[in-house]
Amino acid sequence: MDKAIRRFWWKGDNASKKYMAWKNWKDLCSPKAEGGLGFREFKIFNQALLAKLGWMLISGHQSLCTRLLRSKYKVRDGWLNTGRAYQASPIWRGIEKAREVLKKGACYAVGNGHKVRVWEDPWIPWLENFKLRPKGNLVEQQSLVVSQLIDGERGCWDLAKLKELFDEESCCAIVAIPLSLRNTQDKMMWVANPHGIFTVKSAYFLQQGVLSSAERSVWRRLWRLIMHERYKMMLWRIAHNILPTRSRLKELGLTQEGECPFCHKKEESCLHLFKDCELAKALWFGNRWNVRIDEWNVSSSFQLVQLVVNPPSNLVPTEIPIDQFQTMAVITWEQIWNLRNQIIFKKSEANMQVALLSIERKFHEHSIVWIQQDTNKTPMQTMIWKAPAFGSLKINCDTAVVEKEVCVAAVVRDWEGNIIAAGTRMESKGTVNQAEAKGIKWAILMAKLLGLRKVEVEGDSKICFEVLIKAKNGELPKATLWETRPILEDTLQPATELEEVSFKWIKRESNEAAHVLAKWGLANRWHGFVVLSSLLDQV
């Protein structure tokens, strides 16, 4: 299958049996954000499919097939790290081989902690291999389970015991795991998917290599550019230096000529053709902005594209919109490439005036589209806080985060806009989404403490509020982030005890009071209700 797709991509419907592959197929199969084109590599895809069968075995799937395999091959806790079965079928051998994929993403979601073994099982999603490191020269205690690390009376982690057993990084990672008050069962989750659900797609991408964050940023920006896909492919080919320039053809032994067809002075490479050649300089300087491309300090074609995709502030004048500059750049480069092909294959001469007019005409066509898009945009509406219905109270909540601390805040107002109560609370830091979920939980807790009956809860965390809005009968939907599920479950339980409660996502502009209060609470490390007079003076 890989061979058939590879031949079609490079050869198309050409009847010739030979074709030139300008880029390694494995590189093309990398995600677009990693510099590839997102083709599927079938060997890795097959491993992901087999990993799905393995996932069904360890996650408790109860189909006839999984029950049969689980019984025949004695799949128990810790199966991911056991040896290979003796005289197994080819299918089972394939599933066993796919365990290496599962080890990269399978991790326990801690509930009551009775099932998860501290040292043997993967249960810390923030650490390498999801496993802890003992403190100093401490010997691992094989019989320890996670429930022994939890303070049952207070429903939180036993910090004294954690510091006694683990190093500092491991302790911080454990504390970041939220504990549910509902005494739920431990279950396996798939951390490669934000929702904790195994998918073949996430298992496939988990096996792909990862580039540095700087390179990944360039590719992401490239594919998000507002221009025709043809132009994006042009930039992609220039960045990878896979255009059939004379320099590349000479490297492959396909031609003896190497000089630039325009200046006949230097070897024709992508960098020379699109930046250093006299014709390229003339076309860039001849456009409406008189760009001096010779002043760009780059040493490779990738860096050249990087400057266009993510231009620094000193490269583009403030009066030039960045998207227009990017479009002008790729139109100019395409014109240079077309001129080059006409000279080589049609033996024509380069006409600078015609080339500049062609660039300007194409740019004008794009300008018409931009004008149409601007006229179709709806005007921005002023975002203001809206009062709740008569007889109800509205609670706005938000979170402020800095380093290892989190402050959650909530402001209660009536239907006339009067502040009834306000409070902040310091929390241990986890992820940003966990912090936002804790803010909503604090809003519900305040409603309970104040004895409120009908409340509307608002906040600007779209991820958390969309999940709560979709919740039915006190149960969260499956598409809930695994990192926030325990917190939001503990939010729903007391919320159902109120006479009437609703959740609504709003934009930051409409949540200013809670936002400012959270920042104030963090600065003052305030834990509890805020006196109204103090709130008015300091917020």
Report the alpha-carbon distance of residue 236 to residue 220 in Å, rounded.
11
Contacts of 421 (CB under 8 A, 6+ apart): 411, 412, 446, 450, 529
Looking at the chain, the whole-number percentage of residues with pLDDT higher than 90 is 67
**Average pLDDT score over residue span 440-463:** 95
The angle subtended at Cα 227 by Cα 303 and Cα 346, nearest 5°, is 75
Alpha carbons 38 and 32: distance in angstroms, whole number: 5
Distance separating alpha carbons of residues 134 and 144, to the nearest angstrom: 13
Over residues 62-82, the mean pLDDT reads 91
Sequential DSSP letters for 252-296: TTS-S--B-TTTSSSB--HHIIIIISHHHHHHHHHSTT---GGG-
Residue 474 domain-assigned (yes or no): yes
- Quick: pLDDT tens for 499-528: 999 999 999 999 999 999 999 999 999 999
**More confident call, 377 vs 130:** 130
Q: Are residues 361 and 407 in the same domain?
A: no
Encode pLDDT of 244-260 as tens digits.
999 999 998 888 888 99
Work out the number of other CB atoms within 10 angstroms of the CB of residue 388: 19
Residue 212's pLDDT is 54
Mean pLDDT along residues 426-450: 93
Residue 386, domain member (yes or no): no
The whole-number pLDDT of residue 135 equals: 84
Distance, in Å, from the CA atom of 436 to the CA atom of 463, rounded to the nearest integer, reads 9
Do 51 and 145 lie in one domain? The reply is yes
The per-residue pLDDT of the chain, averaged, comes to 90
Looking at the structure, tell me whether residues 480 and 409 fall in a common domain.
yes
Domain containing residue 8: 2-28
Q: Which of 376, 408, 438 is the last residue of a domain?
A: 376
pLDDT band for position 381 (cuts 50, 70, 90): low
Segment 439-458 mean pLDDT: 95
Q: Label the pairing between strands 454-459 and 393-402.
A: parallel
Is residue 477 over pLDDT 60?
Answer: yes
Number of domains in the chain: 4
Would you place residue 434 in the very low, low, confident or very high pLDDT band (cuts 50, 70, 90)? Answer: very high
What is the per-residue pLDDT for 142?
A: 67
- pLDDT on residue 467: 95
pLDDT tens profile 330-353: 999 999 999 999 999 999 998 999
Please state, for a pLDDT cut of 70, what percent of the chain lies above it. 94
Distance CA 463, CA 437 (A): 9
- List the single range of 131-140, 230-239, 245-254, 418-427 with lowest mean pLDDT: 131-140
Q: Does one domain contain both 271 and 337?
A: yes
Burial of 235 (C-beta count, 10 Å sphere; 0-12/13-18/19+)? buried
Note whether 488 and 423 are same-domain residues: yes
Q: Are residues 202 and 274 in the same domain?
A: no
Q: Based on DSSP, count helices (H) and strands (E) in the chain, helices before strands.
A: 22, 10
pLDDT of residue 437: 96
387 is a domain residue:
no
Distance CA 228, CA 529 (A): 55
Residue 398, domain member (yes or no): yes
In this predicted structure, the answer to whether residue 404 has a pLDDT above a threshold of 90 is no
Q: Are residues 419 and 463 located together in one domain of the fold?
A: yes
Q: Is residue 280 domain-shared with residue 398, that is, in the same domain?
A: no
State whether 284 and 181 are in the same domain: no
- Final residue before a domain boundary, out of 376, 402, 421: 376
In a domain, 39, yes or no: no
Calpha distance 129→107 (Å, rounded) = 9
Strand partners, 423: 410, 529
Q: Residue 77: which pLDDT band, with cuts at 50, 70 and 90?
A: confident
The string of pLDDT tens digits covering residues 268-313 is 999 999 999 999 999 999 998 899 998 999 999 999 999 999 998 8
Taking residues 361-380, what's their average pLDDT?
76
Q: Tell me the pLDDT band of 460, cut-offs 50, 70 and 90.
A: very high
Whether 357 shows a pLDDT value over 80: the answer reads yes
Asked if the structure places residue 357 within a domain, the reply is yes
Tell me: do 296 and 149 sit in the same domain: no
- Is the residue at 155 inside a domain? yes
Point out the least confidently predicted range of 11-20, 228-237, 454-463. 11-20
Residue 287: phi and psi, rounded to 5, are -80, 180
Lowest mean per-residue pLDDT among 24-33, 364-373, 447-456, 496-505: 364-373
The confidence band for 429, taking pLDDT boundaries of 50, 70 and 90, is: confident
Residue 537 in this model has a pLDDT that exceeds 60: no
Task: Report the pLDDT value the prediction gives residue 93, as an integer from 0 to 100.
Answer: 95
What is 453-494 written as a DSSP string? Answer: SEEEEEES-HHHHHHHHH-BTTB--SSS-TTTHHHHHHHHHH
Among 467, 462, 506, CA closest to 489: 467
SS3 label, residue 249:
helix
Residue 481 lies in a domain: yes
- Place 379 in a pLDDT band, splitting at 50, 70 and 90: low
For the stretch 171-180, pLDDT in tens is 999 999 999 8
Does one domain contain both 331 and 415? no
Regarding whether 458 and 473 lie in a shared domain, the answer is yes
pLDDT in tens, 219-229: 999 999 989 99
Q: Is 358 exposed, middle or buried (0-12, 13-18, 19+ CB in 10 A)?
A: middle
